[in-house]
């Protein structure tokens, strides 16, 4: 019994008529790797050339690096709120969270329906291609530009920030949701269609229950992105929140200690959001 479990040697394989073992040849250099390496070399060369030819005016690089390190030390090791009180900082963080939550909610509701139409296994080829093309264009434009575009009609403020962030969230979530829907086993959909189920019954009985964890994961990921974007929009678009306070602390008061305190507030919220998302996903997997 023990002898039968031992691996056969080359000689014994050839003697018993088994196929000889051949070494697998791996091509380390091919056309794709050459193109990737050349692209990386071009990018590195362009970066080095840019640093060497950049007009630094009267800035001394060594001095600038030392001052930047000193500022980072102040931000990270000496946080202190001076122009904004602790209660006001908490309130402004909640305002930023509300802006991120609102845009994520609007984007998720719109993207859920359009994502079903964009999925190739649930929709027609024409509708899927059309929606995917529009969504690709929306994602190609940064969120800040969408906010500035809508600010022409709504003016700088929270309204333009909500519309612009929602617009980009829809484009992001449609792609994520549609790909999650397409991962569903085709046999399940065909079995429901054969049993006489209509499109809505297939969606609610098979698609959404099977993809619920993926939908929640992508939605929370977009919420985290919208929270960080809302911080930037507080300064760039006048949307308010903790981002505006950080802009004032860094650009108006030039108080690096207050910037550090606000940074730690934002970091704490980001960690809490991640913990909350992990707990929800664990609960869903359990049930």
For residues 233-255, average pLDDT: 78
Burial 221-255 (b: 16+ CB within 10 A, else e): bbbbbbbebbbbbbbbbbbbbbbbbbbbbbeeeeb
Q: What is the pLDDT of residues 177-191, one digit of tens each?
A: 988 888 887 888 888
Q: What is the pLDDT of residue 75?
A: 84
pLDDT value for 285: 65
Indicate if the pLDDT at residue 10 is higher than 70: no
Q: Is the predicted pLDDT of residue 44 greater than 90, yes or no?
A: yes
pLDDT of 43 reads: 93
**Pair 227, 273: CB distance under 8 Å:** yes
CA-to-CA separations, 36 to 42, 45, 48, 198, 201, in angstroms, rounded: 10, 14, 18, 48, 47
**Average of per-residue pLDDT values in the chain:** 81
Which whole number is the average pLDDT over 188-214? 83
Summarize the confidence of residues 256-279 as an average pLDDT.
Answer: 85
Return d(Cα 177, Cα 193) in angstroms, integer.
Answer: 22
Tallying the residues shown for the chain, one arrives at: 287
Domains of the chain and any CATH numbers: 83-286 (1.10.3720.10)
- What number is the average pLDDT over the span 106-122? 89
pLDDT at 230: 87
Q: List all residues 6 or more positions away from 192 whose beta carbon is below 8 Å from its beta carbon.
A: 201, 202, 205, 206
For the stretch 58-90, pLDDT in tens is 777 788 888 888 888 888 888 888 777 888 888
83, 253 in Cβ contact below 8 A? yes
Task: Give the pLDDT confidence score for residue 1 in this predicted structure.
Answer: 45
- Tell me the mean pLDDT in the region 208-215: 84
């Amino acid at each position: 019994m023990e002898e039968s479990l031992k691996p056969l040697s080359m000689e014994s394989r050839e003697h018993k008529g088994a196929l000889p073992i051949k070494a697998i040849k791996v091509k380390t250099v091919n056309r794709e790797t050459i193109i990737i390496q050349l692209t990386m070399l071009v990018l590195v060369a362009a970066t080095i050339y840019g640093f060497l030819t950049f007009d630094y005016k009267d800035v001394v690089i060594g001095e600038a690096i030392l001052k930047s390190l000193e500022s980072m030390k102040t931000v990270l090791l000496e946080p202190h709120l001076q122009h904004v009180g602790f209660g006001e900082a908490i309130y402004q963080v909640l305002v930023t969270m509300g802006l991120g939550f609102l845009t994520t909610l609007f984007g998720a509701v719109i993207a859920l329906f359009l994502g079903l139409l964009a999925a190739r296994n649930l929709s027609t080829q024409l509708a899927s291609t059309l929606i995917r093309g529009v969504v690709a264009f929306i994602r190609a434009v940064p969120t800040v530009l969408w906010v500035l575009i809508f600010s022409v009609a709504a003016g700088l403020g929270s309204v333009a920030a909500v519309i612009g962030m929602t617009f980009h969230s829809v484009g992001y979530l449609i792609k994520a949701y549609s790909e999650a829907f397409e991962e569903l086993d085709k046999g399940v959909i065909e079995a429901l269609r054969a049993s006489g189920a209509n499109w809505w019954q297939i969606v609610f009985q098979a698609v959404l229950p099977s993809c619920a964890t993926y939908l929640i994961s992508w939605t929370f990921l977009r919420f985290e992105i919208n929270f960080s974007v809302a911080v930037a929009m507080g300064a760039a678009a006048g949307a308010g929140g903790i981002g505006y306070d950080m802009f004032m602390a860094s650009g108006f008061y030039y108080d690096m200690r207050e910037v550090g305190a606000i940074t730690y507030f934002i970091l704490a919220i980001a960690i809490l959001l991640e913990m909350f998302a992990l707990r929800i996903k664990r609960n869903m997997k359990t049930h």
